[in-house]
Amino acid sequence: MPVKHDVFQDLGISKENAGQLRKQDPHLDALFKKYDKADKAVVEAEANDAIGVPDEKLVALKEKRLLIKDTIASLLVKSKSATSL
């Protein structure tokens, strides 16, 4: 059974901290929303795998999700660096 990814655990940030940062940065908030949509698409594709979702499509969806997560991680690192100055 396909399982939704816990982006907060993957990024090593609490949901509460992420929520605070999202309130401060609309771009980061938009990226988290985009990630949620991408993750949902992957989960749905994995659930429908038995009924013919091509492997290429599933790989493309996972790559898209990973790129979004990498962008979020990069912004979080920049945010962390800025707050430690």
User: What pLDDT sits at residue 85?
Assistant: 43
Name the average pLDDT for the chain. 88
User: What pLDDT sits at residue 47?
Assistant: 84
Asked whether 67 and 6 are in contact (CB, 8 A), the reply is no
Give the DSSP H or E segment for 57.
helix 55-83
Task: State the burial class of residue 52 (Cβ atoms within 10 Å of its Cβ: 0-12, 13-18, 19+).
Answer: exposed
Nearest residue to 33 via CA among 12, 7, 10: 7
Rounded Cα distance between 71 and 16, Å, is 19
> For the whole model, what pTM was predicted?
0.86
